[in-house]
Chains A and B, each alone.
Chain A
């Protein structure tokens, strides 16, 4: 399963942290520190996997991708496919990019909640639940419509959510 999904910038500041098993705040900070120190010590053309048994226990790996100023890091155990997760990160980033049009670090900072929503559509309870960025977009946009309508007129909210199933 996926143990955690982290986005941090190249200075080590966390942007999104999501742990699928509970981790105390202190431990989260420690993990972020260690993960950052590992990643920042790795140069560009090395492989995208780092064995993380000293951080998360035996048989765990960090799978990460480096985009511009951000690291996208997924912590996985042996039940996930490393290369697959690499593509999942790709899906995640593609989706963010679609949402924010040329996504950059600031989008993620300012749209903290939105990014969480997107992530929740892709990974649920540590399992990959959706791998198509189009599908994720659809789901997320449903919610955002709701946001907008809700802001204009909260009474209309009840109408939203009864969208037809787009894929079937």
Chain B
């Protein structure tokens, strides 16, 4: 029948139609199967296969298979299925599962079948179980017993079947159950059984080396088995063993060498020949083992020299003959061995010769092996590559992707600074052709590595990086982008300003060009925005409006990408600041205006903040802007000491005065956790160090002009004794100016973020990420000033101007402050006067802002400015530690005042200005709720992780927290994301929880000069009230009004 079918096929071949051939083949095969007593297939099975084969679509196939599964399910569960039928069902199940459908309902039947006495069924059962189950499947336990029994069977076919199953199904736990039997089988009379037993042991060794440790000598013994095929099985295991422990097998080197010699000399029976090559697979395995044994071992290597030469000679094809595949396989293996061991020059010469032949071959397979071999040879003899340059280039240009990749691997190994440009260029053009992420990532990583290691010039580096970003886009790690930015900001490392600025200009040019292209990956846009913002206008060739226009376009083209938007708005801020700093008028172009307006109403608090920062900057004077956002200030280092040693003196003195020691936040929270204890706690007990302070801080009623800007009553709905107003407005103004100061700082910090990302990530260089108050504060600040100015046309404007000018412009901050500080110190320790207080307040404000800036002390303006905040120890210690501490004291004191619910205190209102931020905090916390506090927390966190930008807010917060409470500084000191978290938590808690309380305590205990202490006791609103208030203010916050400015207006009247 078979021959009949063949005849039909041959006829069909003559007629030529492939289709008919296939059909006829099918018929022929079916006929032959029907008559030849096909051992597995029934009509049903054939029908199934045929139906699937003829299925026109995936769906149809699916349907057929599903029907088959249903059918099998029904049939297989019937009682008394005849063995033969059952066997067929199982095979069909295997088939179904191979097609990707779940056949698990039938596993148990396969397992059952292994118990069958009938060898045929048993074999099918084992076949199915090895395909179905993994070694940890629950059903395995049902098989172990059968396997044990079968391993002892006197029928070697049963034993072989069981051994095959053992390889797949036995896991670490069940190895001991079968190990003794398998070991016994090593002495089985049948070589087939011995061979498989060795394989099974090898498998055990892979699975669980520990359970095999006592049997390692067995493998050595097997090496001496009289049957070469068993010996060769042992080689597989020994290869693994040797690669795990070379030393332990050194003594076998001679044995391996002699075995190889005998094999190569054709001493094995002819039956082991393959295409007339003696036992090539054994030779290959032996060569692999020798490579392991000879690596780095002169003595062992020397033993191999002669046999290697022999093997090569025997397999060397005649002239013009490419040699058979298998001899070349052996030759290639020889190269691997020669290059791995400590070879002599003769062997190396031979290896080089073979490599050349491979490379010159027409076969892609040999070329591939040749490239691989070349890679090995040049590790020993780098000059060898030159001979084969052309072959290598050919391979590189080959259409075969595998070959190309292999060649690029080779080039990657060969890269030096002399050829890096060519090679990277090649890699990039290869990358252009790739579409899958995996390969792209890999090649991008390599390009980046080579570029970083060998880049001949910064210019080239930047261009290459841009290409990588462009092609690989978001597959490139963010760090690379940061490295690029750092390179630009730091320049070449030498003090060659000119070269640096050239570099930057060229970067600006290239990015301006790039931005014209559509569809750029986010990461490239980020870098581009940063560069344009930082250096876009630096060389004067581009005017600010053009750059800003470009940036707006970028942001507009990527409406969904908040990170890019953030970079863009920050870049715009920088450009505007530089313009202002240079004394030019900045008039935002309309599209930028609308972009900013969009962001002001953005749901992303981060973007919002940036937009507000920009607004703030636009309102600042040139001097100030120059200070806070100096041109090219991004390359400075930051030092940060979170221990805040300079505060020690202050803390000590506070403690000496009876202050309670700082409690860490957890402790405080622990204490605070019982809400009832608060409510019930006596009112007079007013400065509980760990108490929640819910009440709003009242303004001291000092006479400024009376009442236009009312207290934002919406913020303090329950605050009956609603405080007087002008103060408030003044305060607000101060605050806003303060914020103005802050804003820039904040913007600067953004760069810090970048920097920090780049720098060592050691704890000390990390800014203490802390809660968001500053950013919030700032936003609030600007919101407030807006609100205030719009609501009160006359009066608020004046105080604002006053404060502003007096504290910042008029007094020329840097110079005045030391003196003020002294006064402050005096005021702190001597007694308060309005004037002192006021300056102190301002100072405090400055400090607040500065503290925000502290994180990046390198800032040029900073040292001369009022140094405050805790982060600033460098300046502190350098300048006037005494003053520092005193002003700090003052600061804290003020904050104390501020915190205390004072009504009619005679204290100067100025202190409040200084610490307006504190007051602001609760409200902002509330106002930030619309976004959802939790969410914003998340935001910050993630941003902190991903973008340099964010650290700005975090660090500014850190600053803020520094200003706040001594007790609170810990949160500032926390590191990394943790810190942020902790900080944010604080922020959330601020209205209600402890940091402020801690402050209050300090203030109270330390300062006799604090005018308000006593008063507050009497007049502070009850905690219940304040609780309600807090709730109310949160409520306000929780109903988002869409645009936050409106919200601020709501809040602040």
Which positions in A face B, CB cutoff 8 Å?
13-14, 16-18, 20, 22, 25-26, 28-29, 32, 42-43, 45-51, 53-54, 79, 81-84, 86-88, 90-91, 101-102, 104, 106-107, 109-114, 116-117, 120, 124-132, 134-135, 139, 142-144, 146-148, 150-151, 154, 157-158, 160-162, 165, 167-168
Inter-chain CA distance A54–B436, complex, in Å, is 9
From residue A76, how far is it (CB to closest CB) to chain B in Å? 12
Q: Do residues B329 and A142 form an inter-chain contact, with CB atoms below 8 A?
A: no
- Pull 5 A–B residue pairs with CB atoms less than 8 Å apart, ordered by A: A42-B401, A112-B94, A139-B160, A148-B37, A158-B155
Q: Does chain A have a CB within 8 A of B829?
A: no
From residue A73, how far is it (CB to closest CB) to chain B in Å? 14
With contacts A129-B195, A148-B37 taken as known, whether A46 is within 8 angstroms of B284 at the C-beta atoms is no
Residues of B within 8 A of A42 (CB): 400-401
Instruction: Return the 5 tightest CB-CB contacts between A and B, nearest first.
Output: A22-B134, A83-B329, A125-B167, A47-B364, A161-B155
Residues of B within 8 A of A53 (CB): 438
Q: Does chain A have a CB within 8 A of B168?
A: yes
Q: Does chain A have a CB within 8 A of B598?
A: no
What residue of chain B has the Cβ atom nearest to residue A63's Cβ? B365
What residue of chain A has the Cβ atom nearest to residue B120's Cβ? A150
Residues of A within 8 A of B240 (CB): 79
Residues of A within 8 A of B269 (CB): 167
Q: Which of B96-104, B377-385, B751-759, B916-924 contacts A (4 or more CB under 8 A)?
A: B96-104
Inter-chain CA distance A147–B196, complex, in Å, is 22
Residues of B within 8 A of A120 (CB): 127, 164
Residues of A within 8 A of B16 (CB): none
- Sample of 7 further A-B pairs with CB below 8 A, known A124-B164, A131-B281: A16-B98, A49-B402, A50-B401, A79-B288, A83-B325, A146-B120, A151-B84
With contacts A83-B329, A162-B155 taken as known, whether A134 is within 8 angstroms of B118 at the C-beta atoms is no
From residue B72, how far is it (CB to closest CB) to chain A in Å? 15
From residue B45, how far is it (CB to closest CB) to chain A in Å? 8
What residue of chain B has the Cβ atom nearest to residue A26's Cβ? B100
Interface residues of B in 150-203 (CB under 8 A from A): 154-158, 160, 163-164, 167-168, 189-192, 195-196, 199-200, 202-203
Q: Do residues B399 and A46 form an inter-chain contact, with CB atoms below 8 A?
A: yes
Q: Do residues B281 and A110 form an inter-chain contact, with CB atoms below 8 A?
A: no
Q: Does chain A have a CB within 8 A of B46?
A: yes
Inter-chain CA distance A101–B190, complex, in Å, is 29
Residues of A within 8 A of B239 (CB): 79
With contacts A102-B6, A142-B157, A162-B156 taken as known, whether A107 is within 8 angstroms of B29 at the C-beta atoms is yes
Residues of A within 8 A of B39 (CB): 113-114, 144, 147-148, 151
| Residue with the greatest number of chain A CB neighbours at <10 A, chosen from B37, B84, B124, B401 | B401
Name A45's contact: one of B41, B135, B364 (CB within 8 Å): B364
Q: Does chain A have a CB within 8 A of B316?
A: no
Residues of B within 8 A of A126 (CB): 203
Q: Does chain A have a CB within 8 A of B655?
A: no
With contacts A22-B134, A110-B33, A124-B199 taken as known, whether A83 is within 8 angstroms of B40 at the C-beta atoms is no
With contacts A51-B402, A83-B329 taken as known, whether A165 is within 8 angstroms of B190 at the C-beta atoms is yes
Inter-chain CA distance A87–B110, complex, in Å, is 34
Inter-chain CA distance A130–B157, complex, in Å, is 16
Q: Do residues B127 and A47 form an inter-chain contact, with CB atoms below 8 A?
A: no
Q: Does chain A have a CB within 8 A of B208?
A: no
Q: Do residues A157 and B94 form an inter-chain contact, with CB atoms below 8 A?
A: no
From residue A83, how far is it (CB to closest CB) to chain B in Å? 3
Q: Do residues A124 and B271 form an inter-chain contact, with CB atoms below 8 A?
A: no
Q: Does chain A have a CB within 8 A of B123?
A: yes
Q: Does chain A have a CB within 8 A of B678?
A: no
Which positions in B face A, CB cutoff 8 Å?
2, 6, 25-26, 29, 33, 37-41, 45-46, 49, 53, 84, 91, 94-95, 97-102, 118-120, 123-124, 127, 131, 133-135, 154-158, 160, 163-164, 167-168, 189-192, 195-196, 199-200, 202-203, 227, 229, 233, 236, 239-240, 243, 269, 271-272, 274-275, 280-281, 284, 288, 325-326, 328-329, 332-333, 363-365, 367-369, 399-403, 405-406, 436, 438-439
What residue of chain B has the Cβ atom nearest to residue A101's Cβ? B2
Name A110's contact: one of B2, B46, B284, B332 (CB within 8 Å): B46
Name B229's contact: one of A29, A87, A130 (CB within 8 Å): A130
Residues of A within 8 A of B97 (CB): 25
Residues of A within 8 A of B158 (CB): 161
Q: Do residues A124 and B167 form an inter-chain contact, with CB atoms below 8 A?
A: yes
With contacts A87-B280, A127-B236, A162-B155 taken as known, whether A81 is within 8 angstroms of B439 at the C-beta atoms is no
Name B40's contact: one of A46, A101, A114, A131 (CB within 8 Å): A114
Residues of A within 8 A of B25 (CB): 104, 106
Residues of A within 8 A of B168 (CB): 20, 22, 125
Residues of B within 8 A of A117 (CB): 123, 127
Inter-chain CA distance A147–B368, complex, in Å, is 44
Residues of A within 8 A of B38 (CB): 110-111
Inter-chain CA distance A130–B279, complex, in Å, is 11
With contacts A22-B135, A112-B94 taken as known, whether A48 is within 8 angstroms of B281 at the C-beta atoms is no
Q: Do residues B329 and A87 form an inter-chain contact, with CB atoms below 8 A?
A: yes
Residues of B within 8 A of A22 (CB): 133-135, 168
From residue A21, how far is it (CB to closest CB) to chain B in Å? 8
What residue of chain B has the Cβ atom nearest to residue A21's Cβ? B134
Residues of A within 8 A of B203 (CB): 125-126
Inter-chain CA distance A101–B66, complex, in Å, is 34
Residues of A within 8 A of B439 (CB): 54
| Residue with the greatest number of chain B CB neighbours at <10 A, chosen from A47, A79, A88, A139 | A47
What residue of chain A has the Cβ atom nearest to residue B189's Cβ? A165
Q: Do residues A83 and B369 form an inter-chain contact, with CB atoms below 8 A?
A: yes
Q: Do residues A46 and B436 form an inter-chain contact, with CB atoms below 8 A?
A: no
Name B102's contact: one of A25, A134, A165 (CB within 8 Å): A25
From residue A137, how far is it (CB to closest CB) to chain B in Å? 12
From residue B241, how far is it (CB to closest CB) to chain A in Å? 12
Inter-chain CA distance A154–B120, complex, in Å, is 9
Inter-chain CA distance A50–B577, complex, in Å, is 56
From residue B363, how far is it (CB to closest CB) to chain A in Å? 8
Q: Do residues A47 and B236 form an inter-chain contact, with CB atoms below 8 A?
A: no
Q: Do residues B274 and A87 form an inter-chain contact, with CB atoms below 8 A?
A: yes
Name B49's contact: one of A48, A110, A124 (CB within 8 Å): A110
Residues of B within 8 A of A81 (CB): 284, 288, 329, 332-333
| Residue with the greatest number of chain B CB neighbours at <10 A, chosen from A113, A117, A131, A158 | A113
From residue A129, how far is it (CB to closest CB) to chain B in Å? 6
From residue B602, how far is it (CB to closest CB) to chain A in Å? 39
Residues of A within 8 A of B164 (CB): 120, 124
Q: Do residues A113 and B127 form an inter-chain contact, with CB atoms below 8 A?
A: yes
| Residue with the greatest number of chain B CB neighbours at <10 A, chosen from A14, A22, A101 | A22
Q: Do residues A129 and B6 form an inter-chain contact, with CB atoms below 8 A?
A: no
What residue of chain A has the Cβ atom nearest to residue B90's Cβ? A113
Inter-chain CA distance A90–B118, complex, in Å, is 33
Q: Do residues A84 and B37 form an inter-chain contact, with CB atoms below 8 A?
A: no
Name B131's contact: one of A18, A29, A114 (CB within 8 Å): A18
Inter-chain CA distance A104–B402, complex, in Å, is 29
Residues of B within 8 A of A50 (CB): 401-402
Inter-chain CA distance A54–B434, complex, in Å, is 13
Inter-chain CA distance A13–B54, complex, in Å, is 12
From residue B194, how far is it (CB to closest CB) to chain A in Å? 10
| Residue with the greatest number of chain A CB neighbours at <10 A, chosen from B101, B271, B328 | B271
Q: Do residues A17 and B199 form an inter-chain contact, with CB atoms below 8 A?
A: no
| Residue with the greatest number of chain B CB neighbours at <10 A, chosen from A46, A82, A90 | A46
Residues of A within 8 A of B118 (CB): 150, 154, 157
| Residue with the greatest number of chain B CB neighbours at <10 A, chosen from A20, A132, A142 | A132
From residue B309, how far is it (CB to closest CB) to chain A in Å? 20
Residues of B within 8 A of A128 (CB): 236, 281
Inter-chain CA distance A125–B239, complex, in Å, is 15
Residues of B within 8 A of A26 (CB): 100
Q: Do residues B120 and A47 form an inter-chain contact, with CB atoms below 8 A?
A: no
From residue B59, how far is it (CB to closest CB) to chain A in Å? 15
| Residue with the greatest number of chain B CB neighbours at <10 A, chosen from A79, A104, A129 | A129
What residue of chain B has the Cβ atom nearest to residue A82's Cβ? B369
